[in-house]
A and B are shown apart, each in its own frame.
Chain A
């Protein structure tokens, strides 16, 4: 979080200062990427790039505090994500070659990663095992730092439904972690 300097940084970025914009980008891009990697791991980088392009274009017209900034950023990312999903649905990608199971890259599952070392990647892999709506709510609440009302507004649901989804996700996450025999 940027904190108290956010307004000055935003004004400088809107005036064309690339240093100020770089600070904003470095503050929010990791959270954006993590959110997208949990929701759409295949197109996370592409969607993030498109999101930032659109944010750059709309930056001079943006007004608000840091919470509004983050809400705008993640809302834009979510819309780009939906556009990508629609595009892939219309023009499905065809695999170039058949890859046998023996040639597939072997990655450790979430429990194994959690046992070895709790890292960000392991936590994201564990969270991606939740239902998408629950995982999205948790990521928006925890990683993006948005409150329940903002998340409810983004997802088009009521704050109570968002809260319930978040609780169910956390319980399931706890169950997954306990089932793996790991106490993080």
Chain B
């Protein structure tokens, strides 16, 4: 049995780390023979360059000249886009500015959803509307005024509502018939321009036109009631005097020609619809007053004045006096 377990060819290492360091450093004078092939191999790696290794010189020199020209011209920013970008040099922030704010991401730029407060308000409003509809069978006045401003504002006076008028304008004025006379002020439009109540002149015109068609007796009666409500009294003479204020410029009276010529502007004023405007600008409260309209006794001072002015004409037929240039509306505020 051999004394040593080492194989017979094993011996001391032919070279050590110092020899390897010498080979790497190129100091190959004292290297062992075992490292001689390695030294020769590394020498081959350091051999003179071949022609193939200079093949790319033209390209890189062209790149160098181009960049040198750009730099000479001061166009430092004109870099080629094909290659990788240079390192972006960022200016250092001063220490007292604190940490840099985090970059905003596109994902954070979303439309904010409806806040819970807005949603709650919308829900409460919808619930109120539903409850109001359930209790009253219709939208409340303020909401209806918002949603249908014209429909709310066209409620006619209670005297006209109950007349069963066949006038399309009047019918339009009471679309649903749900507006009772108990609360006229809440449903009466404050704007005179939006009222569709037939003007006194139209009522008068229709009333006297109905005389030409005797077959429409019911229409005549209804128009008479309306006019009576406006004029304050139902007798034909009073209605005539009342309508004369509005239709006097149409009616021709043989005895009034000279007076009309003496005051030509008065008729022209009434022709321009000033009376209609005066009638449309009537005070809602006085016009829709049930006491004034239902009594038919001329309780309104204006109607009293109208009746008073017509008293003489009732006695003496058609008055020679022309209509007032600004005839007092039967529903206007009382004169002082």
Contacts and interface: CB of A to CB of B under 8 A. Distances in A.
B23 interface: yes
Between B36, B49, B59, the greatest number of chain A beta carbons within 10 A of the residue's beta carbon is seen for B49
B32 to A, nearest CB: 10
Contact of B56 (A18, A48, A126): A48
B20 A52 contact: no
Given A18-B65, A83-B84, A119-B44, A52 B60 contact: yes
Interface string A109-148: 0000010001110111011000000000011011100000
Interface in B15-46: 17, 20-21, 23-24, 26, 34-42, 44-46
Contacts of A120: 44-45, 47, 50
Nearest to B42: A142
Given A56-B63, A118-B40, A16 B79 contact: no
A34 B49 CA distance: 10
Given A21-B61, A143-B46, A45 B56 contact: yes
- Classify the interface of chain B: helix, strand, loop or mixed: helix
B3 interface: no
Given A22-B57, A58-B86, A178-B37, A142 B63 contact: no
A88 to B, nearest CB: 16
B71 interface: yes
B53 A33 contact: yes
A123 B44 contact: yes
B262 interface: no
A30 interface: yes
B335 interface: no
A154 interface: no
Interface of B: 17, 20-21, 23-24, 26, 34-42, 44-47, 49-50, 53-54, 56-57, 59-61, 63-65, 67-68, 71-72, 79-80, 83-84, 86
Nearest to B40: A184
Interface stretch (A89-97, A98-106, A167-175): A167-175
Interface string A14-34: 001010011001100110011
Nearest to A141: B24
Nearest to A174: B38
26 contacts: A22-B61, A25-B60, A30-B50, A30-B54, A34-B45, A49-B60, A53-B60, A57-B83, A57-B86, A83-B84, A119-B47, A120-B47, A123-B45, A127-B45, A141-B24, A142-B26, A166-B20, A170-B20, A170-B23, A170-B24, A173-B41, A177-B37, A178-B37, A182-B37, A184-B38, A184-B39
A56 B60 contact: yes
Between B53, B57, B83, the greatest number of chain A beta carbons within 10 A of the residue's beta carbon is seen for B53
A102 to B, nearest CB: 28
A171 B64 contact: no
Contacts of B50: 30, 120
Contacts of B64: 18, 21, 56
Between B41, B49, B65, the greatest number of chain A beta carbons within 10 A of the residue's beta carbon is seen for B41
Given A58-B86, A171-B20, A26 B35 contact: no
Given A166-B20, A178-B34, 15 more contacts: A16-B72, A25-B57, A29-B54, A29-B57, A49-B59, A53-B60, A58-B86, A118-B40, A118-B41, A123-B45, A124-B45, A142-B42, A167-B17, A177-B41, A184-B36
A138 B24 contact: yes
Nearest to A49: B56
A43 interface: no
A72 B56 CA distance: 20
Contact of A29 (B23, B42, B56): B56
Nearest to A167: B20
Contacts of A83: 84
Contacts of A163: 21
A57 B79 contact: yes
Nearest to A13: B64
Contacts of B40: 118, 184
Given A22-B57, A30-B53, A52 B41 contact: no
A123 B84 contact: no
Contacts of B35: 170, 174
Nearest to A124: B45
Query: What are the 6 tightest A-B residue pairs by CB atom distance, in nearest-first order?
Result: A30-B49, A184-B40, A184-B37, A123-B44, A16-B68, A177-B37
